[in-house]
Amino acid sequence: MQESVGDGGPAHDSGSEPQRLKRPWWLPHFLGRVPLGLDERHVALVGVVALASLFDNYDQSMLTSAFKQIREGFDLTQAEAATWFGWIRLGAIPAIVVLPLADRLGRRIVFLVAIVGVAIGTLVSAFAPNIESFVALQTITRTFIVAATACAVVIVAEELPAANRGWGIGILGAIGAFGYGLGAILYAFIEYLPYGWRAMYMVGGIPLLLMPRFIREIPETERFLEERAERLAGRRPESGWIAPLVELIRRYPGRAVAVAAMALFFATGSSPAFGLLSDFVQTTHEWTPASFSLMALVAGTFGIVGNSAMGWAADRWGRRPVAVFAFGFFPLATLALYFGPETTVPIVWIPFIFLLTGGNVLMRIIATELFPTSSRNTAMGLETLMETLGGATGYWLVGGFTIVGASIAPAAVGVSVLTLIAVGVMLFIPETAGRELEETSQHA
C-alpha cells in the first residue's frame, strides 16, 4: 500500500530533518506530495477512508450528470424535477439524530454501517417504478451519505497531526471526488447502457464487495477510545445517545449557529449551480451526454485540485481567509459559467469546481475543529445537515423562480449570490489553523 523513504518508516537521523514519505500509489501527482510529519499509518488511513467515501460521491454524481435522463424517464419538466430532487436533500434531517451515536458507540461502526446503507440504497434506486418511490429511496440513501461523510471527516481530523489536518481532509475530498469521475465515465455511455440511468445506479452496489477490506483496515480513532475510557472509568459522566447534540447546543450555541449558517448559505448558493449544469448545457447548448462527461473528466480533473490546494492553503495561511476567498468568488464563476459563451464553459468549469470543492473542504475542516471529541461527530452532522438542507433550498428557489419552458440560468446565478452571506459569517468564526483539537475546541 505505502512505500517510505529509508527502512520502512519516516526516517529520523539524529540532528537531521525528517524525510518525506514516498507517494502512495493511489495519490495522483497533480494533488502534490505527502507533507512532512505524516507516517505510513496516517497516509494509509486517508487512502482507505477516501476509497469508501468515493462511492458516496458516485451516488450523488448521478443526480447531477443524469438529471436530464432521470427527469425525462419520469416525464418531468426542469422546474418539476428541480423541486422533486430538492426533497431528496431532506434525507439529511434524520442524520442529525443518527450521528450522535458515533459520539457514543464510535466513529468506525457508524461509518461502516453508513457505507452499507449507501450501497444498498443506491442499488435499490435502480428499480424505482415512479418518481415518488425514487425520491423516497434516494432520500433514505442521503441519510446514510450524510452519516458516512461526517464520520469520514472526523476520523481523518482526529487521527492526523494538527499541522496536516487540512491536507488530510482536502485529500479525502479530492479522492472522493473521483466518484464523480466514475459517474461521468459511465454517463458518457448512458445512451448505450442497458436500462440507461438505472444501470448507473446498479453500479452503486460495489461497496458491498469491498466491505471486508473496510472492516479490516479502518480503525477506531485514538481520541474516541480515550474519551470512552474516561467515561467507563467514571471520570466523565455517562449520558444518553442524544446528549452530544444537547451538549453542542448548550455549551457552544454561538459556534453551532455560525457553522450552521456558513454551511446553509454556501450550499444554498452552490448546489443548484453545480447540480443543474448538465441539464443546462444539454438543453441550452445542445450538448450530448458524452460532451458533458468529457468536460467533467478533463476540466474537472484540474478543478478537484481545489480540495487539496485549499486544504494545504488553510494549513499555511489560515481557515478564515481561504474560506472567504472560496465563498466570495463563487458567484462570479457561476455567472461566467451560465451566461458566458458556450466555448468558455469548459474553461470556466475549472475555477468553478476549484472554488466549489475548496469551499466544501473548508466548511468541514472548520466544523471538526470547533467542538470537543464528545460532540465532534454531532457537529459534523450539523454542518452536513445544514449543507444538505441548503442544497434543497437552493433547488426549490431555482425551481420556484424558473418559468415553465424558460432557462434555469437566471435563477441559478441569482441564487448563487447567497454564498456571499457565508463570507460575513466567517467574521464570527475563530481561527483554528495549526492548533490541536483539544485547544481549538475549548469553550469560549
Asked whether residue 407 carries a pLDDT value surpassing 70, the answer given is yes
Asked whether residue 405 carries a pLDDT value surpassing 80, the answer given is no
DSSP 8-state secondary structure symbol assigned to residue 5: S
Asked whether residue 11 carries a pLDDT value surpassing 50, the answer given is no
- What's the Cα-to-Cα distance from 432 to each of 143, 267, 371, 437, rounded to whole Å? 29, 22, 11, 9
Residue 378: all three cell numbers together: 454531532
Average pLDDT, the chain: 85
Q: Domains in the chain, please, with CATH? A: 36-440 (1.20.1250.20)
Least Cα distance to 368 among 360, 377, 359 occurs for 377
More confident site: 11 or 442: 442
Residue 317: all three cell numbers together: 495561511
Confidence class for position 338, pLDDT limits 50, 70, 90: very high
Asked whether residue 226 carries a pLDDT value surpassing 60, the answer given is yes
**First CA to last CA across the chain, in angstroms?**
42
Asked whether residue 91 carries a pLDDT value surpassing 50, the answer given is yes
Q: Residue 239's pLDDT is what?
A: 58
The stretches of 204-318 forming alpha helices (DSSP H) are 207-217, 222-232, 243-251, 253-275, 277-284, 289-303, 305-317
Determine which of 188-202, 208-222, 323-337 has the lowest per-residue pLDDT on average: 188-202
Determine which of 36-40, 134-138, 311-315, 346-350 has the lowest per-residue pLDDT on average: 36-40
Distance in angstroms (rounded) separating the CA atoms of residues 76 and 66: 13
For the segment 394-419, the average pLDDT, to the nearest whole number, is: 89
Q: Residue 215's pLDDT is what?
A: 95
DSSP 8-state secondary structure symbol assigned to residue 304: T
Give percent above pLDDT 70 in the chain.
Answer: 92
Distance in angstroms (rounded) separating the CA atoms of residues 261 and 240: 27
Q: What are phi and psi of 432, to 5 degrees?
A: -125, 0
CB 302 within 8 A of CB 328: no
Confidence class for position 241, pLDDT limits 50, 70, 90: low
Asked whether residue 15 carries a pLDDT value surpassing 60, the answer given is no
For the segment 71-100, the average pLDDT, to the nearest whole number, is: 80
Confidence class for position 36, pLDDT limits 50, 70, 90: confident
- The torsion angle over the Cα atoms of residues 295, 141, 396 and 180, rounded to 10 degrees, is -10
| Residues contacting residue 183 through CB under 8 Å, at least 6 positions apart | 57, 58, 61, 62, 64, 65, 200
Confidence class for position 3, pLDDT limits 50, 70, 90: very low
Q: Residue 339's pLDDT is what?
A: 95
Q: Residue 240's pLDDT is what?
A: 60
- What's the Cα-to-Cα distance from 374 to each of 226, 245, 384, rounded to whole Å? 11, 10, 18
Q: Residue 119's pLDDT is what?
A: 95
Q: Residue 444's pLDDT is what?
A: 45
More confident site: 216 or 406: 216
Q: Residue 78's pLDDT is what?
A: 75
Confidence class for position 17, pLDDT limits 50, 70, 90: low
CA angle 20, 23, 27 (to 5 degrees): 135
Asked whether residue 2 carries a pLDDT value surpassing 50, the answer given is no
Confidence class for position 5, pLDDT limits 50, 70, 90: very low
- What's the Cα-to-Cα distance from 351 to each of 66, 307, 330, rounded to whole Å? 23, 12, 9
Give percent above pLDDT 90 in the chain.
Answer: 32
pLDDT 10s digits, 316-337 = 899 999 999 999 999 999 999 9
Determine which of 199-208, 219-228, 313-322, 398-407 has the lowest per-residue pLDDT on average: 398-407
Q: Residue 18's pLDDT is what?
A: 60
The pTM of this model reads: 0.73
For the segment 216-243, the average pLDDT, to the nearest whole number, is: 79
175: Cα separation from own chain's centroid: 11
Q: Residue 19's pLDDT is what?
A: 65
Confidence class for position 68, pLDDT limits 50, 70, 90: confident
- What's the Cα-to-Cα distance from 47 to each of 38, 44, 167, 168, 390, rounded to whole Å? 13, 5, 13, 10, 29
Asked whether residue 290 carries a pLDDT value surpassing 50, the answer given is yes
